[in-house]
Amino acid sequence: MEIWRGKAYPLGATYDGSGTNFALFSEVAERIELCLFDDDGAGGVRETRIALPEVDGFVWHGFIPGVEPGQRYGYRVHGPYDPGAGHRCNPNKLLLDPYAKAIDGAFTWGQELFSYNFGDPDSRNDEDSAGSMPKSVVINPYFDWGTDRPPKHEYADTVIYEAHVKGLTQTHPDIPEQIRGTYTAVAHPVIIEHLQSLGVNALELMPIHHFANDSTLVDKGLSNYWGYNTIGFLAPDHKYGSSATPGGQVQEFKAMVRALHDANIEVILDVVYNHTAEGNHLGPTLSMRGIDNAAYYRLVDDDKRYYMDYTGTGNSLNVGHPHSLQLIMDSLRYWVTEMHVDGFRFDLAATLAREFYDVDRLAAFFELVQQDPIVSQVKLIAEPWDVGPGGYQVGNFPPQWTEWNGKYRDTVRDFWRGEPATLDEFAYRLTGSADLYEHTARRPVASINFVTAHDGFTLADLVSYNEKHNEANGEDNKDGESHNRSWNCGVEGPTDDAEILALRGRQQRNFLTTLLLSQGVPMISHGDELGRTQRGNNNGYCQDNDLTWIDWENADADLLDFTRSVSALRAAHPVFRRRRFFSGKPVGRRGEAGLPDIAWFAPDGSEMTGEDWGSGFAKSVAVFLNGLGIPDRDARGQRVTDDSFFLCFNAHYEPIEFALPPTDFGSEWVPVISTAANPTTEPIAAGAHVSVEARAVLVLRSDQE
């Protein structure tokens, strides 16, 4: 087969209409063979090996005329095999291209995928792995995007919905069975209409980068459902594709993005750049380990056979190496420019800040993102922790970044389950967490607020279980978080008790109301608005079944309607979507002195004092939000004004009488949201008293004259 010298850039396999250029980085390789796989005409597979003829700057490359999209390929890297020195090259192991834009097939777990013999990690195993490996695929880069444009929603106007491609769509009765669980299903009109009805304008998809199902899970009859086990940073996983054509998932993914953009919904990807599926020193050799182990992975300095593990998965990507950094940045740019995604949520993002040992806010990765003209312009969301020393970094990411606010989750959970001494921190979380973000010149939108996410209890389970029930995972219920800040409302798990069921419903409404009316960016976990349960399992990472899929047939219609109403209130009123923190200072029309932009009241109508905030037993508070005190301007420079609101939060186990503010704050208050079962709807005069049910929220509006 003819091969030309080709080019060293771009890395990966690049089809240009006449053939394909192949380029692979390896600093330690002595020779690299490109392996092409085709049907042999007799039901088998023919492998053609071609040595890449050129190397420039440690990039091995070659161009093969006539190689077209759909071609399956892999690499064999000849070089040193010396684990103690950090080198694990073995040409008997077929390797996936780290820059593969599509991957076809599945891993068949066995001895041949490992470079050592089971039971003897210091030995070398030379069994050929090609028959047990998926293959990289040359893709067709051309796609008709039509008039596609990114929605570019401002953070303050964004409502995020975290979802799993399969879990969201697998059981929906209006989606054809043959496409359920796929990218095409996510783009189905019934899913788009559901998201729009919730006011969702950003869909955050759990990992869709190609990932491996761990051999330990496969042996148990389980799978890596969540997908936090990446092995292809540029490849949408074919498990969520409906096409049988190798590489067809790329076209499907693009069509999904186009459809969501047409509906004014952004696409955010949950990405895992902190580790790969190759695991620790006892893991398989699938890709980067066999290409250039020391360049791609963080190794223990004084014994390079072992891996630094800040992720709890066995390895950590070496973000201190320029080619590892290049892989991450090339991947991010590819997903923005070629796949048209609108942002990223970075799993265990603190790991990316570890250039050496400690977390460094100004690590090279963040500097690269800051100056990148493409990546810096999309939504960047950090999961601001990892499992290493000093890994909890909520509030410490650079100004350009937003963060999953774990303190918001914990505080709101504690407040509504009646924990003492939570009132003052609850106020911080409700108003955008200025204590975490203001000192770095960030604004309330730096806080991605959430009560539940994929990791942990669903909202229905949060109010139904005190303890995790993860027996189905096969780990004797030892996996998953044990401190969930949950409360079962009196009975563990399912019950027929009408009072407990009513309380659980009210608690779910309390959480959703708090979430959607807090300053910052709300994130709803998929199915929470429908009452989705995992039957007490708080770690569904390995459960690809009806335990984790949304049960559309038994959705809680009343809860869905309630969620829609609160989201609509948020969308209609900018006082809940402020772009700047509250000051507490008087504001008014045309600059004259007026009411403060925010004021806090005890239930008796007196303004909160330091003693009130410090009271450990207090579980009720009211807050006035001044619609004339919004320091924002619209796109035309006009000052933003709104109605004013009075929110009463009662986490006490008994009803509480709240005194409404005097006439200076509004002459009449109209109830607009109540989490109680039989809310009042009649207007209430200033200074009057209103009863708020035990463990409930009442939201009142005063029209501005």
Q: Which of 28-37, 62-71, 476-485, 626-635 has the lowest mean pLDDT?
A: 626-635
Residue-wise pLDDT tens digits, 67-97: 999 999 999 999 999 999 999 999 999 999 9
Average pLDDT over residues 139-159: 97
Average pLDDT over residues 212-219: 93
- The residue from 33, 97, 383, 693 that is catalytic is 383
pLDDT above 80 (res 606) = yes
Mean pLDDT of all residues in the chain?
95
Active site residue 419: no
- Domain limits, CATH 2.60.40.1180, in the chain: 598-703
pLDDT above 80 (res 334) = yes
Residues contacting residue 218 through CB under 8 Å, at least 6 positions apart: 109
Nearest to 210 by CA among 238, 184, 188: 238
- Please state, as a whole number, how many other Cβ atoms lie within 10 Å of the Cβ of residue 639: 12
Residue-wise pLDDT tens digits, 111-141: 999 999 999 999 999 999 999 999 999 999 9
Helices (H), strands (E): how many in the chain? Answer: 15, 29
Question: What CATH code would you report for 598-703?
Answer: 2.60.40.1180
Average pLDDT over residues 663-677: 93
Let me know the angle formed at the C-alpha of 542 by 537 and 547, rounded to the nearest 5 degrees: 45
Which residue would you say has higher pLDDT here, 364 or 375? 375
Q: Are 428 and 434 in contact (CB under 8 A)?
A: yes
Sign of the dihedral through C-alpha 47, 48, 51, 55: negative
Nearest to 342 by CA among 160, 184, 469: 160
pLDDT above 80 (res 355) = no
Residue-wise pLDDT tens digits, 419-469: 998 999 999 999 999 999 999 889 999 999 999 999 999 999 999 999 999
pLDDT above 70 (res 591) = no
Active site residue 682: no
What kind of fold does domain 1-158+194-342 have according to CATH? Immunoglobulin-like (2.60.40)
Q: Are 133 and 74 in contact (CB under 8 A)?
A: yes
Structural tokens at position 265: 């919904």
Residue type, 159: V
Q: Give the C-alpha separation, 64 to 74, whole Å.
A: 14
Say what the pLDDT of residue 588 is: 63
Q: Give the C-alpha separation, 422 to 514, whole Å.
A: 15
Nearest to 403 by CA among 363, 454, 353, 347: 347
Say what the pLDDT of residue 615 is: 85
Q: How far apart are the first and last CA of the chain?
A: 80
Residue-wise pLDDT tens digits, 508-549: 999 999 999 999 999 999 999 999 999 999 999 999 999 999
Say what the pLDDT of residue 357 is: 62
Sign of the dihedral through C-alpha 207, 210, 215, 217: positive
Q: Give the C-alpha separation, 618 to 608, whole Å.
A: 11
Claim: this prediction has a pTM higher than 0.85: yes
Say what the pLDDT of residue 645 is: 97
Residue-wise pLDDT tens digits, 284-298: 999 999 999 999 999
Cis before 80? omega within 30: no
- 670 bridge partner residues: 701
- Domain limits, CATH 2.60.40.10, in the chain: 1-158+194-342
CA torsion 131-132-133-134 (nearest 10°) is 90
Element (H, E) at 434: helix 434-437
DSSP conformation class of 467: S
- The residue from 47, 266, 347, 410 that is catalytic is 347
